[in-house]
Amino acid sequence: MTWLIEWAGYLPQLMSGLGVSLMIAGVSIVAGYPLGLVLSVMVQHRNLAVRTLGLAVVEIGRGAPALVILYLFYYGLPKFGIAFESITAACLALIWNSAAYSSEIMRAGMQSVARGQHEASAALGLSRGHTFFRVIMPQGMRSAIPGLMGVAIQMFQGTSLAYAIAVPELMKSAYNIGSQDFNYLQIFALAGICYAAISMPATWITVYFEKRLARHT
Amino acid sequence: MTLSEIANGKLAPRTGIRLDNISKRYGDHLVIDDVSLNVEPGTVTALIGPSGAGKSTFLRCINLLERPDSGTIQVDHHTIEPGKVINAKDLAALRRTVGMVFQSFNLFPHMSALKNISFPQQKVLGRSKEEADERALQLLERVGLKDKAHQHPGRCSGGQQQRIAIARALALDPSIMLFDEPTSALDPEVGLEVLAVMRELADDGMTMIVVTHEMQFARDVSDTLVVMADCRIIEQGDPRAIMSDPQEDRTRRFLRAVLER
């Protein structure tokens, strides 16, 4: 039973790491999703320049691994005199990541809205703006909810990448503890349990929402 | 008060609509072949014919949900030539004059029945929320659904949804109403309650164009029967005359098929 006592001893340090991970994930979602909404509108825009700009931001955010973006922000930008704290760089990179992924989910949600909704809006004489923001978007966002929750879980797990630029998040805390007495197996298992303890219930909630939404549409 | 009086506050100026030489093709596929139709103010025109004849497409050309390749549309002193550039003002005027009811209702599922009817009034006509809500409630009462005002469409039966959709269109004071197979998605029994509302609207003198398979409605309510087949109008005139003595062989075959069912 001594390992249990050891684990309990690790917990405070791990918990502070978990707190940082949750904070980064929270920031990337709270800032990333509204940005994702803007991007999803941009990629559907009639104006080619707006559409192209939106597409570029989305495709880079989805196409490049988050770690590459993270390194670009942390190691690359100082070259232009823009230097960030490691945690700020991590947040910015993950915001871009979550904005890009969420925008595609929102776009797909909005494009799944029945054609009849566009037709009814047009027949009533509603403007493009009213049609989009009052008719299409609310319905599209509704069907995007489960997907957005899935991205949130990914974002939380993605915060482990911030370890690579020495942000004191969960992985970094685990590594620090492990390097003290080389008990890596136990400590990384514990870190894994910490990630799972958040991600699994979140997945269950997502599945619940999926079922609920499926029933009401 | 009658339905259209409630819809308009006063009796709307009756408007007809005139379509000349409307053609529409999808790629190489011709769907409307040079169709002309004149609808007198205050009359009901029933559009019947076999499926694939182009009835719905033609109806959707009238308010430009489908853009015809050529022809002219004249309504309320506006002349629109869909083959050319349509200016936004003409399009807005057309959509404001013409109301439409769809086969699949197309209510906004995230809004209550009341909001479905009230929201477009506020956005399209600039009415205040109070005024629009009041108008919506009057119309809901008139179609027998006042108690459904705060329900979402998903909680209403098909027939109820279609009546809400009719109320939504009427709330914008159209002078012409288009109906695209309004009862085809409904059980026959439920369809009757929708037909009753339409009949009342016709009695009020609303100009209506109805694509339908309801032969009895076409015979009893419409002033003009238009038979479409193969992308064109093959016969039009008095509904009883056509039904009892069709001039075209194609009409005869179609009527036999639907009436002897």
- Chain A, chain B: beta-carbon pairs less than 8 Å apart: 51
Q: How many domains does chain A have?
A: 1
Distance, in Å, from the CA atom of B257 to the CA atom of A156, rounded to the nearest integer, reads: 64
> B82, B19 in Cβ contact below 8 A?
no
Q: Check residue A52 and give its pLDDT.
A: 95
Higher pLDDT, A162 or A100: A100
Closest partner residue to B120 (CB to CB) among A117, A126, A142 is: A126
Asked if B124 is an interface residue toward chain A (Cβ–Cβ < 8 A), one would say yes
List, edge to edge, every strand of the sheet that includes B17-26: B29-39, B17-26, B70-75, B78-80
* A81 found inside a domain: yes
Give the strand pairing for B176-180 and B207-211.
parallel
pLDDT of B135 reads: 95
Q: Which domain range does residue A80 map to?
A: 19-159+190-215
B110 part of contact set with chain A, CB < 8 Å:
yes
The A residues from 91 to 150 touching B (CB cutoff 8 Å) are 114, 116-117, 119-120, 122-127, 130, 134-135, 138-139, 142
Chain A nearest-CA distance from B57, in A, is 13
At residue B3, the pLDDT reads 65
- Judge whether B7 is closer than 8 Å to chain A, CB to CB: no
Please count the other Cβ atoms lying within 10 Å of the Cβ belonging to residue B59. Answer: 20
In a domain, A12, yes or no: no
Q: Do A123 and B109 touch (CB under 8 A)?
A: no
What share of chain B has pLDDT > 70, as a percent?
Answer: 95
Kindly tell me if the per-residue pLDDT of A137 is higher than 60: yes
pLDDT over threshold 90, residue B38 = yes
3-class DSSP string for A30-88: HHHHHHHHHHHHHHCCCCHHHHHHHHHHHHHHHHCCHHHHHHHHHHHHHHHCCCCCHHH
Across the interface, which of B104, B108, B124 has its CB nearest the CB of A125? Answer: B124
Q: Collect all residues of chain A within an 8 Å Cβ-Cβ radius of residue B98.
A: 123
Query: DSSP letters of B212-259?
Result: -S-HHHHHHH-SEEEEEETTEEEEEE-HHHHHHS-SSHHHHHHHHHHH
Q: How do residues A47-96 score in pLDDT, each as one tens digit? A: 999 999 999 999 999 999 889 999 998 888 888 888 888 889 999 999 99
> Which residues, numbered 26 to 45 in chain A, qualify as contacts with chain B under a Cβ-Cβ cut-off of 8 Å?
none
Element (H, E) at B121: none
On whether any CB of chain A is under 8 Å from the CB of B152, the answer is no
ipTM: 0.90
- Measured between alpha carbons, how far is residue B102 from residues A71, A205, B65, B211 in Å? 54, 37, 12, 10
Q: pLDDT band at residue B5, thresholds of 50, 70 and 90?
A: low
Q: Residues of B numbered 206-235 whose beta carbons fall under 8 angstroms of chain A's beta carbons: which are they?
A: none
**Contact between residue B103 and residue B161 where contact means Cβ atoms under 8 Å apart:** no
- Highest-pLDDT range among A6-20, B82-96, B203-217: B203-217
**B93 at the A interface (CB within 8 A)?**
no
The answer to whether position A73 is within a domain reads yes
Q: From the candidates A46, A112, A117, A124, which should be mutated to test the interface with B, based on the most B CB atoms within 10 A?
A: A124
Residue with tokens 């958040």: A198
Domain assignment present for A178: no
Q: How confident is the model over B190-236, as pLDDT tens digits? A: 899 999 999 999 999 999 999 999 999 999 999 999 999 999 999 99
Tell whether A11 is covered by a domain. no
pLDDT at A191: 87
Residues B73/B19, Cβ–Cβ less than 8 Å: yes
CA A125 to chain B, closest CA, distance in angstroms equals 5
Beta bridge mates, B236: B226
Q: Please write the tens of the pLDDT for every residue from B117-167.
A: 999 999 999 999 999 999 999 999 999 999 999 999 999 999 999 999 999
Domains in chain B, please, with CATH? 3-259 (3.40.50.300)
B98 vs chain A: nearest CA distance in angstroms? Answer: 8
**Is A172 within a domain?**
no
Please tell me whether the overall predicted TM-score, pTM, comes out greater than 0.90 for this model.
no
Tokens of B144: 């027998």
Determine the residue among B102, B110, B124 to mutate to test chain A binding: the one whose Cβ has the most chain A Cβ atoms within 10 Å.
B110
What are the residues whose beta carbons fall under 8 Å from the beta carbon of B141, sequence distance 6 or more? Answer: none
Name the minimum distance, in Å, from the CA of A113 to any CA of chain B. Answer: 11
Interface list for A 142-161 with B (CB within 8 A): 142
- Non-local (6+) Cβ contacts of A215 within 8 A are none
Q: How many CB atoms lie within 10 A of CB A123?
A: 27
The verdict on residue A173 lying in a domain is no
pLDDT reported for residue B6: 59
What's the CATH code of the domain at A113? 1.10.3720.10
The reply to whether residue A114 touches residue B106, judged by beta carbons under 8 angstroms, is yes
Other beta carbons within 10 angstroms of residue B21's beta carbon come to 14
A64 occurs within a structural domain: yes
| Residue A207 in tokens | 């599945």
Give bridge partners of residue B177 from the DSSP assignment: B99, B208
Residue among A153, A145, A155 nearest A203 (CA): A153
